[in-house]
Structure 1
Amino acid sequence: MLKTEEGEKVMGNRKQGYALNEYATLKEVLMCLPEKMKIKQPLNEAQKKYKKENINQDIALRQHEELRKTLEAHDVKVKLLPVADNKTLPEQVFTRDLGFASDNGIFLGRMNEKIRNPETDIAKNWLEAENWNYEELRNGSLECGDVLIDGDVVYVGKSNRTTETAIKELKKLFFDKKIVVLPIGKKYLHLDCVFNIIAPRTAILHPDAFAKEDVRRISMHYRTIVINADEQFHLGTNVLSIGNDTIISLPGNNRINNEMKEWGFNVIEVEFSEIIKSGGAFRCVTFPLLKHH
Structure 2
Amino acid sequence: MNKCFVKNSTGILKKVLLCPSDYMKLQPINVIAEKWIKENNELSIKNCIREHKDLIEAYEENRVEVALMEPDKNMTNEVFARDFGACIREGYILGKFKEPIRREETEAYRKKLEELGVPCVAKVTKGFFEGGDFWFLDDNTLAIGVVARTDETGIQDIREQISKFGYNIIPVKCPKENLHLDMCFNIVEDKLAVVCKQALPDSFINILEERKFSLIDITQEEVFKLHCNLQALGNGRVISLKSNREVNNKLRTYGINVIELELSEILKNGGGPHCMTFPLERI
Give the TM-score, by structure 2 length. Answer: 0.94
Match of 1:237, SS? coil
- What is the aligned partner in structure 1 of residue 133 from structure 2? 146
Unaligned 5+ segments in structure 2 are none
Q: Supply the distance in 2 between the matched residues of 1:148 and 1:205 (Cα, whole angstroms).
A: 13
Matches within 5 A, 1:253-292: 253-292=244-283
Whether 1:60 and 2:51 are equivalent positions in the alignment is: no
- One-letter amino acid of the counterpart of residue 141, structure 1: F
- What is the aligned partner in structure 1 of residue 205 from structure 2? 215
Residue 48 of structure 1, aligned match among 34, 45, 52 = 34
Contact persistence 1:82–1:122 (CA under 8 A): no
Match of 2:268, SS? helix
Match of 1:100, SS? strand
Q: Following TM superposition, by how much is the alpha carbon of 1:153 offset from its aligned partner in structure 2, in angstroms?
A: 0.8
Name segments (4+ residues, structure 1) moved above 4 Å.
none
Q: Supply the distance in 1 between the matched residues of 2:274 and 2:238 (Cα, whole angstroms).
A: 11
Whether 1:159 and 2:147 are equivalent positions in the alignment is: yes
Q: Following TM superposition, by how much is the alpha carbon of 1:208 offset from its aligned partner in structure 2, in angstroms?
A: 1.3
Residue 227 of structure 1, aligned match among 196, 218, 237 = 218
- One-letter amino acid of the counterpart of residue 67, structure 1: L
Contact persistence 2:199–2:220 (CA under 8 A): no
Match of 2:264, SS? coil
Give the TM-score, by structure 1 length. Answer: 0.90
Taking structure 1 as reference, are residues 120 and 262 closer, same or farther at Cα in structure 2, changes over 3 Å only?
Answer: same
Residue 32 of structure 1, aligned match among 2, 19, 28 = 19
- What is the aligned partner in structure 2 of residue 20 from structure 1? 7
Unaligned 5+ segments in structure 1 are 3-8, 10-16
| Higher deviation after alignment, 209-218 or 192-201 | 209-218
Q: Supply the distance in 2 between the matched residues of 1:245 and 1:140 (Cα, whole angstroms).
A: 36
Q: Supply the distance in 2 between the matched residues of 1:243 and 1:210 (Cα, whole angstroms).
A: 25
Matches within 5 A, 1:80-95: 80-84=68-72, 87-95=73-81
- One-letter amino acid of the counterpart of residue 187, structure 2: I
- What is the aligned partner in structure 2 of residue 169 from structure 1? 157
